[in-house]
Amino acid sequence: MLQLSITLPIKVQNGGLFISRGIGRHPARRLQSWEIIFVEKGCLKIQEEECVFCVEAGESLLLWPHRRLIGVEEF
């Protein structure tokens, strides 16, 4: 479970739960908003601009808006 404690004003545009069947890759895109990714099981390997991240189970990653995102490996 992801728990956040935030005191600043925050606006949520989208939210949801993605469950992988073990076949796929995070799409290449450039979002106009922040994105928080929380991995419940397994590992997500994703690249933001030139930085590659391996997000393991129980970890989260905050991605910046206006930066190029692309999946590095199949999940």
pTM score: 0.75
The tens digit of pLDDT for each residue in 15-69 reads: 778 877 778 888 899 989 888 888 988 889 999 999 999 999 999 999 999 999 9
Domain that holds residue 54: 30-71
The Cα 18–Cα 29 span in angstroms is 17
Note the pLDDT of residue 9.
76
Residue burial 45-64, b: 16+ Cβ < 10 Å; e: rest: ebbbeeeeeebeeeeeeebe
Residue 34 inside a domain? The answer is: yes
Structural domains of the chain, count: 1
Neighbours of 34 (CB within 10 A): 13
Residue 5 inside a domain? The answer is: no
